[in-house]
Amino acid sequence: MVRIMFSLDTITSLAKRRGFVFQSSEIYGGLNGCWDYGPLGVELLANIKNAWWKEMTFRDNIEGLDAAILMHPRTWDASGHTSQFSDPMIDNKTSKSRYRADNLIEDFIEKMRKKNKTELANEIETALNQAKEPNDFYDIIIKYQIPDPVSGTTDWTPVRNFNLMFKTFIGPVEDDSAIVYLRPETAQGIFVNFKNVLDTARQKIPFGIAQIGKAFRNEINTKNFLFRTREFEQMEMQFFVKPGSEKEWFDYWKEQRWNWYNRLGMKQEKLRWKVHEKLAHYANYAVDIEFEFPFGFGEIEGIHSRTDFDLRNHQEFSGKKMEYVDSVNNERYIPYVIETSGGVSRSFMAFLCNAYDEEEVASDNGKSEKRTVLRFANVLAPIKAAILPLVNKDGMPEIAETIYRDLQKSFKVQYDTSGAIGRRYRRQDEIGTPFCITIDGQTLEDNTVTVRERDSMQQIRINADNLKNYLLEKFI
Ligand code: ATP
C-alpha cells in the first residue's frame, strides 16, 4: 500500500476551501482555540455523533442524557477540578512564549528520539512520569537545559499551575457567590444524575449513561487545528459496575471502542494504544486510543477505570446517597465506573486525516491528473450522493431533478450541472461523496442511470426505480 504524506496545512486548507471548518469570528481576526463548522463540517460532525449515539445507546443497558453546561459550583469541588484541574505553565523571558511545561518536555524528548539519543530520551521520560508538582517540571527543564523552541534560550520563569476552567457569573451580581464554570468535561453531568437515571429508567447494575455535549478548557496553548481547542465537544459514557468487576468491564469497553473506530474505516496502522504510566488520582486502569495525525500520534479517546471516586465524592459533598441497592443479593455499594471519553472534534479531525488521499488518474484529455479524494466510510460522508445530469435537453434535467428530489427525502444529496463531468466528479471526490449518479441518453430508453463509486471509480447501470434502495443499503 502506498502511504501518501501530507501536512496538517493540507487538511486545514481543504477544510476551509470546501466549507468543513472556518476560523471562529474570522472577520475580526479569529478567536484563538475556537472553530466554526461549515455546511459540510456540520454534516460530518452530526454523522460522527449519530454513529456514536447508535453504537452506545442502541443497547439494553445504556441510557442517554443531556445535562446543562452550567452546573452547581460544588460539583467541581467534589470532582477535584477546582483544586486539581490545572496544567503546569512556564514562560520564556526572552521570547515571551508560554508553554505547558509537560508538553515542552515531551516535545524535547521526541526531538532527542529523532536524533537517536534514546538513552537520554528515556531518562527524561522517566523523570517526567514521576513529576507531580510545578517544581518537578521546572527541575527537569533546568537539569536538561531544555531550550525555548522560539528563542533557543533557557531563560525560563518558574513553573506555576494554571486552572483550565472558564469562570463566569450566574445572575446579575458579579461576586464570588455567583461564580460558575463552563463545564470542562461532560462526565460530571452524568455522575450527578446517576440516581435520577437509575430510578427512572429502571436499570440494574451494570448499566451506563451516555452523553454528547460541549466542554470548555482554557488551554494554555492551542495548536494543531482542531486537536487542542478551548471549546470542543465530547462523547462520553460512564458505565456503572459492581466493585471488583471493573477490570473485566474495562477490557470489554477497550475492545468495543477500538472496534468502533475500525468499523468506521480508521486504518489499523494509524491507531495505537497508549497505556497510562502515570494514573490520575481517581483511576486504577487507564488507556488512550491514539491516532497518527500529520504531526504525530495524539489521543482521540480515553478509556478509564475511575473507581468510585466521583460518586463517593458527590455523596460526601452533596449529602445525598449514591449507593446502589442490589435487592436480589441483598447488597449495597457505591458502584465503580468505567468511562469511555472521546472528543467529537478530535475524532472529526482524525476521520478527516484518515480519509485524505491523493492519486494520479487519467483525465478527460487522456493525460494523468491528481485526484484528491476523501475516502470516508459511507455513514460518515457529509453528502451521500450527487446527481449529475450529462445533457441539458430532451427531458434529462427533469428526470435528474425528480431523482434528486426523491433521494433528498432520505439523505443529503447535491445536484450539480456545472462544468465537464470529470470536474464534477473531482469536486465530489474532494468532499468524499461515495456515489455520483449520471443521467444520459440511455436513461430515456431504458430508465437506467449510472452509479459511479468514489474509491474504485467503477460505474454500473441500475434502474432508476431501484436507485434509492440500492443506495440506502449502502448507508446502514
Ligand atoms: P490531553 O491530555 O490531550 O489534554 P486529556 O487527557 O485531558 O487530553 P480527557 O480529559 O481524557 O483528555 O478528555 C477526553 C477526550 O476529550 C480526549 O480524548 C479528547 O478527544 C477530547 N479533548 C480533551 N481536551 C480537548 C481539547 N482541548 N480540544 C479538543 N478535544 C479535547
pLDDT per residue as tens digits for the range 410-420: 999 999 999 99
Q: Are 282 and 306 in contact (CB under 8 A)?
A: yes
Contact residues for 63 (Cβ-Cβ < 8 A; gap 6+): 57, 197, 201, 203, 207, 208, 209, 210
Question: Helix, strand, or coil here: 226?
Answer: coil
Domains of the chain, by residue range, sit at 8-70+167-352, 86-163, 383-474
Contact residues for 76 (Cβ-Cβ < 8 A; gap 6+): 82, 85, 165, 181, 188
What's the pLDDT at 364?
67
- DSSP string covering 353-408, please? HHHEEEEEEE-TTSSEEEEEEE---TTT-SS-EEEEES-SSTTHHHHHHHHHHHHH
Please work out whether the CB of residue 229 comes within 6 Å of at least one atom of ligand 1: yes
Query: How many Cβ atoms sit within 10 Å of the Cβ of residue 460?
Result: 11
Q: Are 371 and 358 in contact (CB under 8 A)?
A: yes
Quote the strand ranges of 183-230, DSSP E: 207-216
- The Cα 93–Cα 99 span in angstroms is 12
Contact residues for 239 (Cβ-Cβ < 8 A; gap 6+): 62, 206, 207, 208, 249, 253, 337, 338, 339, 340
- The Cα 295–Cα 430 span in angstroms is 22
- Which pTM value belongs to this model? 0.92
**CATH for 86-163?**
3.30.40.230
For ligand 1, atom 13: residue with the closest CA: 341
DSSP state of 454: T
Q: How far is the CA of 135 from the centre of ligand 1 (A)?
A: 24
What's the pLDDT at 208?
98
3-state helix, strand, coil in the chain (%, to 5): 40, 30, 35
Kind and range of the H or E element at 234?
strand 231-241
What's the pLDDT at 3?
64
Query: How many Cβ atoms sit within 10 Å of the Cβ of residue 84?
Result: 13
Q: How far is the CA of 287 from the centre of ligand 1 (A)?
A: 13
Cell 427525502 sits on residue: 409
Please work out whether the CB of residue 340 comes within 6 Å of at least one atom of ligand 1: no
CATH superfamily of 383-474: Anticodon-binding domain (3.40.50.800)
- The Cα 297–Cα 290 span in angstroms is 6
Asked if domains 8-70+167-352 and 86-163 share a fold, the reply is: no
For the chain, counts of helices (H) and of strands (E): 16, 23
**CATH for 8-70+167-352?**
3.30.930.10
Q: How far is the CA of 106 from the centre of ligand 1 (A)?
A: 16
Q: How far is the CA of 175 from the centre of ligand 1 (A)?
A: 30
Q: Pocket of ligand 1, candidates 299, 310, 348: which has the most ligand atoms within 8 Å of its Cβ, to mutate? A: 299
Q: Which parts of the chain register pLDDT below 70?
A: 1-3, 364
Please work out whether the CB of residue 427 comes within 6 Å of at least one atom of ligand 1: no
Q: What is the dihedral of CA 136, 138, 143, 147, to 10 degrees?
A: 140
